[in-house]
Structure 1
Amino acid sequence: MTRPARRTRGARPHTLAPLAAALLGALASLPAMAQETAPTQVLAPTVITGSRVEASSFDLPYSVDSVSLGADSAAGLRVNVSEVMNAVPGVVVQNRQNYAQDLQISVRGFGARAAFGVRGVKLIADGIPATNPDGQGQAATFNLDTAERIEVLRGPMATIYGNHAGGVIQLFSREGQGAPRVSAGVFGGDHGTVKVDIGAEGEKNGIGYVLDASHFETDGERRYSAAERNQAYAKLTFRPDEDSKLNLIFSSLRQPETEDPLGLTWATWKRDETAVENVALQYRTRKEIDHVQGGATYERRFGSDRLQVQAYAGERSVTQYQSIPRAAQTPITHAGGVIDFDREFYGVGARYIADREIGPGRLTLTAGIDYDRSEDDRQGYQNFIGTVLGVKGALRRDEIDTVTSTDPYVQAVWRQGDFDWTLGVRHSEVKFDVDDKFIVGANRDDSGSVSYHQTSPAVGVLWRLTPVLNLYASYGRGFETPTLNELSYSASGGFNFDLKPARSRQAEVGIKAYVGEHTRLNAAVFQIRTEDEIVVASSVGGRTSYTNAGTTLRRGLELAAETNFTHNLSARGALTVMRAVYDETTATVEDGKRIPGIPAVTAYGELAWKPLAGLTTAVEAIHRSKVYVDDANADHAAPAYTLVNLRLAAEQKSGPWTFSELLRLDNLFDREHIASVIVGDRNGRYYEPGPGRSLYGGVRVSYQF
């Protein structure tokens, strides 16, 4: 959706216009392309996600992509994974522009209903889950400053990662190698955005290390959306002998007093896309997060076999002030408008990978088990004292919530001739236990427990039709339990222990091909049928309860292409077309209605030019079709939009010094758009606007000893 002029940003677009013109002029005035050389060959990246052993993505019978980050500055500010995931088909990462609620990430539609955080998609960082046993994850815990790559697994083979694995997003951090070096970066831009980070990495006396600390702050384009984020990361790598490796990992995240502007109604957005609803200001909606964790991963080789073990533990504290009206909290049974919990979590996992030549083929067999546990000491308070709003009032909830998951699994890959066969099976047992300590008057004892069980098989086959053309097919079954938040309330009051998990069956057929030496093409068609889809049942008094709908059907096509026209000019693109509908009429939804939160078409294109060594320019285009916001498809859908971004990155080396610079101009044409939606918000505040034209830039300096 476009408009001739933005009605509420005043003179700001005009002040940025000279900067945009200057950037375009700089690109236009660059020296002519360097001497023509043969284009570099496009190769499929090596990935681990899916097979759990290193393999070329070209030779795997499922959809998996790797996004390379490295240590340079071209990736952007490195605050949100939305900066780097646009080129992966089937994945939609929507930046809410609200750091109190995190990103909204969906993979082939899984996760689109998340009102906050990430669910339906398994998040893993350095082998350690960033998703709780109930399926609730936080992408904000990913440290992009130290990331080497992010791998994204989609389709049936994702189901062997267990609960809420509609897709898998796995981050891998760098390991300290080479001569010691230190670095520092300063970035800034529109909306009061500033990021400062400092780091060190290298290897000394056989010990590798990666250290990083960063501070990020922004005022946000919308009013009342300021945020501050402080992150720290440390990774030590030990090699006791030539056959073993031990990584010790520490990370922390702190977000103090993060303002929550909530969503907007359609009328408010049409009037002023930078606005905030009065209720957010009245109750001073906000969130504070403290997250710290440590972990260890150990690998030992026994010839061609290997043993891998990981363990982790941490604490997370959250205090959130909501906008629930004071009158709604009058009954003693209401849990209040302030969420306050302290979480302790830990987990262990182990797997043995055996690799053998057997007769005419080769067998790789993986057997393992994962155990994860989280315990919340959770309180709820009224968000007022007398007539004063937005403060912690009387206690209205006090309980211990414990979630555990135990998952043994086996996976086998058989390679013989032109065929590779992959078979995996995982048995998951997820248990929720509630110990209610707030039993006052009419507020009954809501203690109880519920367990969910699922055996998830997946099978895939790859056929090497020619050396440059692979065909594959895969099928799998998975499940998605309710999250703790979705279980917390029922229409009759208390926990909704009758809520069932959603169970899915996925099928995929695809092609992976090289066209010439310099172009790589991936294409896949998929179908996902889900039973007992979890949907919003009601939203009354600021509390949302959930129920199971009938079946849903998602059918789609994914395309991804990458090519090097010359040594200096390259392009890549991704396209996803998906029809996601309810496939059965129930009491809550009607057959044929579109599933909210899922765009029918997403597309990305990028053209990058390297006119000189150490200088890269690129133009990016992002398209999203309209998105429905409710199950009935009755309210205004978020309109389709197309955004164009420009970036310029440079790097210079002088002896031990390396200097790099980045300049980004996002939303070049200042398009007004809805960046994400809050599915099923019965207050009508579905819409979370995206920023207009925004300029960011920064420099990084590193010194190698």
Structure 2
Amino acid sequence: MQYAPPVPIRKPLAILIALLGAVTTASAAETVELAPVEVVGTTPLPGINLPKDQVPANVQLMNSRQLRDAGGPSLAENLQRKMPSVNVNEVQGNPYQADLNYRGFSASPLLGTPQGLSVFLDGVRVNEPFGDVVNWDLIPQTAIATMTLVPGSNPLYGLNTLGGALALQTKRGDTHPGGALEVYGGAFNRRGGSIEHGGKRGELSWYVAAEGMKEDGWRDRSPSEVGQLFGKLAWTRGETDVALTLAHADTDLIGNALVPESILRQRREAIFTHPDQTRNRSSLLALSGSHWLNDQDQISGTVYARRTLTRTLNGDLNDEFGDEFAEWAAAGFPAGAEPESGALNRTRTGQTAAGIALQWSRIAGAHQFSVGVSHDRSHANFRQSEQAGELTANRGISATGDEEQVNSLLGRTRTTSLYATDTVALAPTLHLTGSLRYNRTRVINSDRMGDALNGDFTYHKLNPALGLTWQATPALTVYGGFTQGNRAPTPIELGCADPENACSLPNAMAADPFLRQVVTRTVELGVRGKLAGNTQWNATAFRSTNRDDILFVGTGGSLGFFTNFGQTRRQGVELGLSGEIGAFDWQANYSYLDATFQSSACLLAENNSTEGQGGCPDDEIRVARGDRLPGLPKHSLKLGVDWHATEVLRVGADLIAYSGRYVRGNENNRHEPEDGFEGRGKLPGYGVVNLRADYQLARGWTLFGRIDNLFDKRYATAGALAENPFVGPDNAFVVDPGEWRHEQFVAPGAPRSAWVGVRYAWKGI
């Protein structure tokens, strides 16, 4: 299989070549001040780190200070503010439930979202086993010491690493001694705080942290509460290090999701239906260790157990209302036989996961290699119930019937992996890295209400990677590489893959189920370097191609099943520049992303104005090669500056700007507002400015303030074409489905908001 880049990537490469020539000339003309060497881990487990300039990819790093300075309420939001090629879709309308996209691949807390990023906490994968989702509210942000964002389909990070991997390392008492206490409050009645402390005595070190947040939310009926605890106990003697980690989180989140534009225009805080509640409780216990056998050999390992309980309560329209109304009308509208207009949907998902991983690393002459093995097991108990009800005047649900169980699924997964990687110095400035990982995954589903969801599937895949770095000068590195990763299906996804049983699970929870596993191949080429005054720059071109993508194919009406689609592609360019000028620290990052379908199919989209065209049945649209994937902006720009006004005052500002993006339901990019169909099918671009300031009151004491969305920009981060039944006077429910409107629903961004707080730190943490 050849991967010579066709015409669409020539323009990005031309930009890279031109930039390389300009920067090389500039660096040759000036004296370069070299920065300290940065090192990064090459595997989730502790090992022998590599200098960043020997890694053949545009790896991004962030430390705890940079994370705190970002000032966002959640980890996903802070990644969006500081990391190139990262954007957020606030589909749920809650900062802790955002869909995070990196290079067009997602890490989302929503079951059914096609997941393409893996997330690790101290070497433990925290993608939930039932749907590969990532619950950002369960990650202890205060305890994070460093974050490494690894791009591409790097096989060393295992399953689901299609577009990248996020590796989080937590603090330890011997590396982060001292403590800090922080409290803050402000807009939306948000108030919160954190406390942390680390210390060391002899061979023993400890670190503990607790944080919490509570708010009313800026939209109607949107309170949330987050509580997290973290602790790490480490023992170090000579060449041996052992650490025990315990993390616990308990959260109660309200995410009121998308709202019709017609309702939003009347009131910015409005919601569609309620309640929309998610309650998470999670505990993680992990034991990790490493030991140097001699000056060249190191062994390391991790064993963990994790338990997550997720409960949801959603007030929705009755999915069967249209059919039930037709039957009622055919019977002459008899009194007492009116169909229920609403429903309360509940789920309860208990998940346990455990695993062990071992790794041997060795430095042998020009070689630095690692060999590892891992085994992970999970058990997921999913239950879903429905309760009939009536819509109230404020679009809530008043229960009228009994709760009935509609799904009960037991899902088990077993994954065993073997991997190896070797970085060899072909010359002092030329390094070649090769990697292989073999994954074997078995997924077993047991339907406890019948046999429609039963299944037992096994998947195998050997994924390679090859990369080269050349340090052309001390201030210029050229790199390139090829990587391949795969994603096996999860138990929830396998529940809707049978065309003979057209999606018995809700569509929102089965948006990417199995036929064949998804395989992604990525090619990346780039340059990075340093200029005078420690100014750093980078330029990267990438292309990732998904094969056997899985999409929903309609069978008529609202029924359908999931099948392998063919191909999708994400390609683009990343440009970055950062440095210092006097009292100013600054950075600028630009990303171009071309994310498109590369195959043709009919997809269910009954609210698209082109439904039924292009040879597709009614309620379906024709998606063709070159159509853009929804929810992803083509252009993004991130600018940041910090001004050290005095020794005690620091003021900073960030600009985050995105171009427009298509909404879900407009995958063919052809929807137009016309008779019976509203909305443009696309969201306009926007820019948001955030301000921050820190003032040192006294030794250890800091007063800080944050203003988000300084100019109160009205914008939306996500959208979908859907049907709105609240089209009567004062947005009242209209009983006749024939009068409902096809509209564009959007996820509105938060208005201008401000918070102030105080932080006290001791012993330098």
Interval of TM-score (by shorter of Structure 1 and Structure 2): 0.7 to 0.9
The verdict on how the C-alpha distance between 1:518 and 1:704 changes in structure 2, with shifts beyond 3 A counting, is closer
Q: Name the counterpart of 1:56.
A: 51
What residue in structure 2 maps to residue 432 of structure 1? Answer: 443
CA distance in 1, matches of 2:538, 2:544: 19
Count of residues paired in the alignment = 646
Residues 599 and 416 (structure 1 numbering): CA distance in 2 closer, same or farther, change over 3 Å?
A: same
Question: Which secondary structure does the structure 2 equivalent of 1:397 belong to?
Answer: strand
Alignment of 1:263-662 (within 5 A): 263-277=258-272, 280-281=273-274, 284-303=275-294, 304-326=296-318, 328=320, 337-357=345-365, 362-384=366-388, 388-389=398-399, 393-417=403-427, 418-439=429-450, 444-490=451-497, 492-493=501-502, 499-537=515-553, 546-566=562-582, 568-588=583-603, 589-630=623-664, 631-633=667-669, 634=671, 636-651=681-696, 654=699, 658-662=700-704
- The CA distance in 1 between the partners of 2:557 and 2:357, in whole Å, is 42
Map Cα deviations across residues 567-588 of structure 1 (whole Å, 9 max, x no partner).
x212111111011111222233
Letter of the aligned partner of 1:121 in structure 2? L
2:92–2:257 contact (8 Å) kept in structure 1: no
Instruction: For 1:45 and 1:684, locate their aligned partners in 2 and report how far apart those are by CA, in whole Å.
Output: 50
Q: What secondary structure is seen at the aligned counterpart in 2 of 1:140?
A: helix
Report deviation, 1:113.
Answer: 8.3
CA shift, 1:446, in A, is 2.5
Q: How do 1:62-81 residues align onto structure 2 when only pairs under 5 Å count?
A: 62-70=57-65, 73-76=68-71, 79-81=74-76
Query: 1:236 Cα shift?
Result: 0.9
Aligned partners of 2:219, 2:213: CA distance in 1, in Å?
17
Partner of 2:711, secondary structure, is: coil
Q: TM-score, normalised by structure 1?
A: 0.85
**177, 202, 205: which is aligned to 2:174?**
177
Aligned-residue offset at 1:487: 2.7
Letter in 2 for 1:416: L
Matched, 1:691 2:725: no
Structure-2 residue corresponding to 1:4: none
Which structure 2 residues correspond to residues 77-226 of structure 1 after superposition, within 5 A? 79-96=74-91, 98-99=93-94, 102-111=97-106, 115=110, 119-133=115-129, 135-156=132-153, 158-165=154-161, 166-177=163-174, 181-226=178-223
Q: Distance in 2 between matches of 1:459 and 1:373?
A: 29
Structure 2 counterpart SS, 1:461: strand
- 447-456 or 568-577, which moves further after superposition? 447-456
1:591 Cα deviation from its structure 2 partner: 1.7
Whole-Å separation in 1 of the counterparts to 2:34 and 2:363: 30
Q: CA deviation at 1:647?
A: 0.8
Q: Decide whether the 8 Å contact of 2:465 with 2:482 is kept in 1.
A: yes
**Residue 107 of structure 1: CA displacement?**
1.8
Flag the 1:573–1:689 CA change in 2: closer, same or farther, 3 A: same
CA distance in 2, matches of 1:607, 1:46: 25
* Closer/same/farther in 2, CA of residues 321 and 196 from structure 1, 3 Å limit: same
For the structure 1 residues 181 and 160, does the alpha-carbon distance in structure 2 shift closer, same or farther, using more than 3 Å as the test?
Answer: closer
Give the TM-score normalised by the residue count of structure 2: 0.78
Q: Percent identity?
A: 19
Aligned residues of 1:431 and 1:450 also touching (Cα < 8 A): yes
Greater relative contact order structure (CA < 8 Å, 6+ sep): 1
In 2, distance between residues paired with 1:679 and 1:406?
A: 41
Instruction: In structure 2, list runs of 5 or more residues that go unmatched.
Output: 1-30, 325-342, 391-396, 604-622, 672-679, 725-741
Name whichever of 93-102 and 524-533 sits farther off.
93-102
Q: Could you tell which deviates more after superposition, 537-546 or 575-584?
A: 537-546
Distance verdict in 2 for CA 1:540–1:405, change over 3 Å:
farther
Q: Write the distance in 2 (CA, Å) between the matches of 1:69 and 1:643.
A: 24
Cα distance per residue 1:648-681 (max 9 Å; x no partner)? 1233553xxx112221111111100113446999
Post-superposition CA distance 1:112-143 (Å, at most 9, x none): 78745882101001111111345332222221
Counterpart position of 1:252: 248
Question: How many angstroms apart in 2 are the aligned matches of 1:602 and 1:544?
Answer: 35
Letter paired with 1:218 = E
CA 1:140–1:536 in structure 2 vs 1: closer, same or farther (change >3 Å)?
Answer: farther
583-592 vs 301-310, greater mean Cα deviation: 583-592
* Deviation of the 1:214 alpha carbon: 1.6
Q: Secondary structure at the match of 2:438?
A: strand
CA distance in 2, matches of 1:578, 1:71: 25
Deviation of the 1:59 alpha carbon? 2.9
Mapped to 2, the partners of 1:543 and 1:220 lie a distance apart of 36
3-state DSSP of counterpart to 1:135: coil
Q: State the AA in 2 paired with 1:695.
A: A
> Aligned pair 1:665/2:707, yes or no?
yes
- DSSP-derived class of the 2:464 partner: strand
The 1:179/1:469 distance shift into structure 2, 3 A limit, reads closer
**Residue number among 28, 38, 44 corresponding to 1:45 in the alignment:** 38
Structure 1 pair 571/437, CA: closer, same or farther in 2 (3 Å)? same
Does the C-alpha gap of structure 1 residues 506 and 327 become closer, same or farther in structure 2, counting only changes over 3 Å?
A: closer
CA distance in 2, matches of 1:399, 1:144: 33
Query: CA separation of 1:101/1:467 partners in 2, compared to 1, >3 Å: closer, same or farther?
Result: closer
Q: How far apart, in 2, do the equivalents of 1:544 and 1:390 lie? A: 30
Q: Distance in 2 between matches of 1:605 and 1:618?
A: 11
Please tell me the residue identity of whatever aligns with 2:454: S
Q: Does the Cα contact within 8 Å between 1:377 and 1:399 map onto a contact in 2? A: yes
Output the aligned Cα RMSD: 3.1
The CA deviation at 1:526 is 1.0
Shift of 1:49: 4.2
Contact 2:375/2:417, CA 8 A, preserved across alignment? yes
Checking the alignment, whether the CA contact within 8 Å between 2:97 and 2:109 is kept in structure 1 is no
Structure 2 CA distance for partners of 1:184 and 1:609, relative to 1, 3 Å: same
